[in-house]
Amino acid sequence: MAAACREIRLALLEADVNFRVVRDFVARVQEQAVGEDVIASLTPGQQVVKIVHEELTRLLGAEASDLELSARPSVVLMVGLQGGGKTTTAGKLARRLAAQGEHPLLAATDLRRPAAVEQLRVVGEQVDVPVFRGDGKDAVGVARAAVERAKSEGLGPVIIDTAGRTHIDEELMAELSSMKDKVRPQEVLLVLDAMTGQDAVNVAAEFDEAIGITGVVLTKLDGDARGGAALSVREVTGKPIKLAGIGEKLDALEVFHPDRMASRILGMGDVQTLVEHAESAFDEKEAADLERRLRERRFDLNDFMREMERLGKMGSLDHLLAMIPGVQALRQQIPMEVDPKRLRHMTAIMQSMSPGERANPDMIDGSRRRRIARGSGRTRQEVNFLLKQFKQMRSMLGQFADAEAKGRLPRQAGIPGFRT
């Protein structure tokens, strides 16, 4: 048990969990685990992992927490320090609510940071959501006017982008408290950068004490952060983490699932979220058509280019890899640098080919390769490498198709031992 607790402590500290939270958490796990009967199908070590995962999930909130938006119009106050991603997150939330059939209104009340109002206006245009700017003199007055406009025009929820600082000060808290009193928001969401790690605890505690938050939005969870800030913030404030930012694009905002984050903190991946990303990017009919083309050995560069574009819609490759069980541990042993530009370069090369060349890559001779390289802005060596890799992949897929036809593989998959 002592050895297991040491491993748990190291894993949590590496995930940037606050050391006091780690100490209390390990003590609770040890109390639960000592004397626990080991299930016949598990080893003692696996039993400890099971207890740790369940306790992490419980601390993170057990279940996903929805936004409370029952009022008409509902008001969401976005608060946090400067640089945490409030403005971008406000735009992401507006886009998400608009996709759900709502008619959100963004309100620009950050009147101190240069170009903050203009930044929100640009974000609003990108997500096709109106932005209320008011007279630009009094932040609290702008927030109240935005709510009145939403009432008169039947808009809502009103998402208020507030001012931030590089550090917490009394003036900022006084402004936020006054704004909260005047507009009476249903949600006060604290936007925190997951990369800040243990410092996120202090920020969350001070904001909660000063103005009273209802939930947290963690940003930059697609990076190297394993999510330790999530556990620390939840444990210290007792407030749920409601949303997670998983990329820079304005559609990269998702509901926070405690059980999945528990798996990520432990380095166990997040297959369920990976499947949901795939389902949102891939059409079932198109997937069936692709499967048929693979079986019939008709997979060409047109198909490959379409699949690369769909893969790009699923988010950053680093984030996708982090969801696969075991990959995080493997990347610690073997450096696996994922260059997001590589996908764009490969797509540019394929777009520089004619439809006929993509359908029949064997016809691409030396002169065509030089033309494709010039058209895509890449080197001839990169064109050669892409064609070589595609031919190897097509050959491998053909071998899987042949083996499956002979009954050597499960019908639903081309990977030994994998069943769907």
Euclidean distance between CA atoms 371 and 342, whole angstroms: 20
Of all residues in the chain, the percent with pLDDT exceeding 70 is: 75
3-state helix, strand, coil in the chain (%, to 5): 55, 10, 35
Q: What is the pLDDT of residue 418?
A: 33
Euclidean distance between CA atoms 67 and 20, whole angstroms: 29
> Where does the pLDDT of residue 41 fall: very low under 50, low under 70, confident under 90, or very high at 90 and above?
very low
> Where does the pLDDT of residue 158 fall: very low under 50, low under 70, confident under 90, or very high at 90 and above?
very high
Of all residues in the chain, the percent with pLDDT exceeding 90 is: 30
Check residues 199 and 94 and name the one with the higher pLDDT: 94
Nearest to 134 by CA among 120, 146, 121, 124: 146
Q: What is the pLDDT of residue 410?
A: 45
* Whether pLDDT at 280 is above 70: no
Q: What is the pLDDT of residue 411?
A: 42
* Whether pLDDT at 54 is above 90: no
* Whether pLDDT at 80 is above 50: yes
> Where does the pLDDT of residue 283 fall: very low under 50, low under 70, confident under 90, or very high at 90 and above?
low
* Whether pLDDT at 192 is above 50: yes
Euclidean distance between CA atoms 281 and 276, whole angstroms: 9
For 78, the 3-state DSSP assignment is strand
> Where does the pLDDT of residue 352 fall: very low under 50, low under 70, confident under 90, or very high at 90 and above?
very high
Mean per-residue pLDDT of the chain: 78
Longest alpha-carbon distance in the chain:
74
**Inter-CA distances, 137 with 130, 133, 141, Å:** 20, 10, 8
**What amino acid is encoded at 68 in this protein?**
E
**Partners of 6 in beta bridges:** none
Check residues 74 and 260 and name the one with the higher pLDDT: 74
Q: What is the pLDDT of residue 146?
A: 94
Q: What is the pLDDT of residue 167?
A: 76
Mean pLDDT of 163-182: 87
Count of CB atoms situated within 10 Å of the CB of 329: 12
- Phi/psi at 2 (nearest 5 deg)? -60, -40
Check residues 332 and 220 and name the one with the higher pLDDT: 220
Least confident of 104-108, 253-257, 369-373, 412-416: 412-416
Superfamily of domain 274-405: Signal recognition particle, SRP54 subunit, M-domain (1.10.260.30)
**Partners of 78 in beta bridges:** 161, 189
Nearest to 403 by CA among 395, 412, 414, 392: 414
> Where does the pLDDT of residue 403 fall: very low under 50, low under 70, confident under 90, or very high at 90 and above?
low
Q: Looking at the chain, which residues constitute the CATH 1.20.120.140 domain(s)?
A: 2-60
Nearest to 189 by CA among 170, 212, 166, 173: 212
* Whether pLDDT at 45 is above 70: no
Q: Looking at the chain, which residues constitute the CATH 3.40.50.300 domain(s)?
A: 75-266
For CA atoms 93, 96, 98, 103, the dihedral sign is negative
Mean pLDDT of 179-187: 94
Mean pLDDT of 129-138: 86
The 10s digit of each residue's pLDDT in 245-274 is: 877 888 888 888 877 777 766 655 444 455
Query: Hey, which CATH number is domain 75-266, 3.40.50.300, 1.20.58.1290, 1.10.10.10, 3.40.30.10?
Result: 3.40.50.300
* Whether pLDDT at 401 is above 70: no
Check residues 411 and 333 and name the one with the higher pLDDT: 333
**What's the predicted TM-score (pTM) here?**
0.63
CATH architecture label of 2-60: Up-down Bundle (1.20)
Euclidean distance between CA atoms 165 and 84, whole angstroms: 10
Euclidean distance between CA atoms 156 and 98, whole angstroms: 10
The 10s digit of each residue's pLDDT in 197-215 is: 667 778 888 899 989 999 9
> Where does the pLDDT of residue 412 fall: very low under 50, low under 70, confident under 90, or very high at 90 and above?
very low
Q: Looking at the chain, which residues constitute the CATH 1.10.260.30 domain(s)?
A: 274-405
